[in-house]
Structure 1
Amino acid sequence: MSSRRTTVIVGSLVTASFSAVMILPFTASADDQGPGSSKGGKVVDQPPKGVKLTTLLPSRISVDNSSHKTAITATVKNDGTKDSGTVNLLVVGFDGLKVNSVEGCSAIADKDLPKGSNSGFSCAVGNLAAGKSKSYAVDATFDLGKKGEICLPVQTGDGKKTYWQQGPVPFGTNDHSPNAPATPLLLGTDNKPVAPGGDQLPKTGVGRDILPLGAAGATLMAAGAAGLWWSTRRPTARRLAG
């Protein structure tokens, strides 16, 4: 890779260079996830007229209490009347939720992950026709002793604009059942720790109110519960090269 690009996040900050494709086998089932939801999503940069991009996450997931494995379906949609043009979907995990693989997508190198995140993948969606959607199978693990969040930005193919971003949005439950085979988690719910008598979640990762951007030396600005907003300054294609 000939050069680094910087990614500015309103509410958080991220550098996003992508490594070679890494596709792993899936071990968790994504069945019975309930209806898709765009909860925690907002428009960042205005898309072209007639293009309306959103993402969907399941309203509930299930975490295996022995293996901590879970599966999530991430969907990007174009509800507009015109084709989207080339777009990419990012899938990024935070805190107790770690994304192990996303079917057909490229892993973000550890050194290039957003501050505070533990994993991430980039999916080359391509051109999404009006009224069409594309779904990706996400294989993940969830540490029930922590809160866990996921973030789905939708960027232009050159990475210069972010048309939509969902999250970071939590999955969680207040009612753990450690003796049951699995624990159901609901989208938009902060997870409570498994430890008996625990009143607060342990702090994990880097705080997302104010963070340095490494070489750029920029700072983050808190943007409330909606969190992390991406915009980029140099083509994604360069990040994928090499």
Structure 2
Amino acid sequence: MDHAYRGSIVAAIAAGLLVLPFTAYADDPAPGSSQGGKPGPAATADVKITTELPKQISVDNSTEKTDLTAKIANSGSKDSGPVTLMVVGFDGMRITGVQGCAKIPDDKLPAGSNSGYACAVDKLEAGKARTYQVTASFDLQKTGKICLPVTEGKTDKLLWQQGPVPFGTSKPTPNAPDTPLLLGTDNVPFGPDKPPAVDELPRTGPSDAAVPLGLFALTLLAIGGTGIWWTTQQKSGRP
């Protein structure tokens, strides 16, 4: 990668980190789930990284806006060292912000995704968790998915990946103030030409169209994680 290109990417990532507040250690206030998650090839017994998403979110029917809490946890016996958490949107679900994280440029997103943020975590101690407030939009006339991959530092070593897992409902509520969406359920779109479905049980579990484990981790780390860790090391004086 030439210096001019790397500099432009680092500048974009650094700007995102500077204007956003940092997240704090906390517990997810809503019930969380690791549904659709799987350890990556680099996972070890002493560092057990997982992520969680809420089991249910609510989308405003007029604005199609929603928010949720993404959690990263270490249930291993030693600290994780530097890791990168990414929050990526697919189809009708677009990630519009992640507290304390840097936006991945649109032209550098992996194929199939529409938005994403990269979060640099200096280390996650054993038994600790960190939460990130996520804002998003959800086009209720489409299906929507979210994915949380975690890699080791600035490398392409995948520790964990949750998703892409869908949020959705089989019983749309177009006349209500909002629509509740369940994790692991494919959304039934509604609109002028798509009347709400009736008497259909929610389908749960990983989507059939799920991206294979680690398919886009390399891409994200190349443009997001590397820039974040490179910037962090430069500021701290590390070589």
Compute the TM-score of the two structures, normalised by the length of structure 2: 0.76
Deviation at 1:197, TM superposition (A): 6.1
Considering fraction of residues, name the structure with more helix: 2
Counterpart pick for 1:232 among 218, 229, 233: 218
For residues 171-210 of structure 1, the aligned pairs below 5 Å read 171-195=167-191, 198=194
Question: Are 1:80 and 2:66 an aligned pair?
Answer: no
Cα 1:33–1:130 shift into 2, 3 Å = closer
Deviation at 1:52, TM superposition (A): 0.4
Report the counterpart of residue 2 of structure 1 in structure 2.
2
Contact preservation (8 Å) 2:20, 2:100: no
After superposition, what is the alpha-carbon deviation per residue over 1:159-192, rounded to whole angstroms, capped at 9, x for unaligned?
A: 2201000000000001111111110000000001
The residue matched to 2:89 in structure 1 has which SS? strand
Contact preservation (8 Å) 1:69, 1:142: yes
How many residue pairs end up in the alignment? 203
For residues 142-157 of structure 1, the aligned pairs below 5 Å read 142-157=138-153
The residue matched to 1:100 in structure 2 has which SS? strand
Contact preservation (8 Å) 2:101, 2:118: yes
Cα 1:66–1:132 shift into 2, 3 Å = same
Contact preservation (8 Å) 1:41, 1:226: no
The residue matched to 1:232 in structure 2 has which SS? helix
Structure 1 gap segments, 5+ residues each: 6-16, 26-31, 201-222
The 10-residue stretch of structure 1 (86-95 or 187-196) with the greater mean CA deviation from structure 2: 187-196
Deviation at 1:118, TM superposition (A): 0.6
Question: Are 1:61 and 2:61 an aligned pair?
Answer: no
In 2, the alpha carbon distance for the partners of 1:118 and 1:74 equals: 18
Contact preservation (8 Å) 1:125, 1:134: no
| Counterpart AA for 2:185 | T
In 2, the alpha carbon distance for the partners of 1:160 and 1:176 equals: 39
Contact preservation (8 Å) 2:61, 2:179: yes
Deviation at 1:34, TM superposition (A): 3.9
Report the counterpart of residue 237 of structure 2 in structure 1.
none
In 2, the alpha carbon distance for the partners of 1:102 and 1:238 equals: 18
Cα 1:101–1:194 shift into 2, 3 Å = same
Contact preservation (8 Å) 1:68, 1:142: yes
For residues 1-242 of structure 1, the aligned pairs below 5 Å read 2=2, 19-20=12-13, 21-22=15-16, 34-195=30-191, 198=194, 226-230=210-214, 231-232=217-218, 238-240=226-228
Instruction: List structure 1 segments (4+ residues) > 6 angstroms apart after TM superposition.
Output: 233-236
Deviation at 1:239, TM superposition (A): 3.3
In 2, the alpha carbon distance for the partners of 1:179 and 1:141 equals: 18
Deviation at 1:138, TM superposition (A): 0.3
Cα 1:24–1:97 shift into 2, 3 Å = farther
Higher relative CO (Cα under 8 Å, sequence separation at least 6) belongs to 1
Aligned-pair RMSD on alpha carbons?
2.9
The residue matched to 1:163 in structure 2 has which SS? strand
Deviation at 1:45, TM superposition (A): 1.6
Contact preservation (8 Å) 1:168, 1:227: yes
Compute the TM-score of the two structures, normalised by the length of structure 1: 0.75
Cα 1:34–1:47 shift into 2, 3 Å = same
Cα 1:199–1:182 shift into 2, 3 Å = closer
Contact preservation (8 Å) 1:42, 1:166: yes
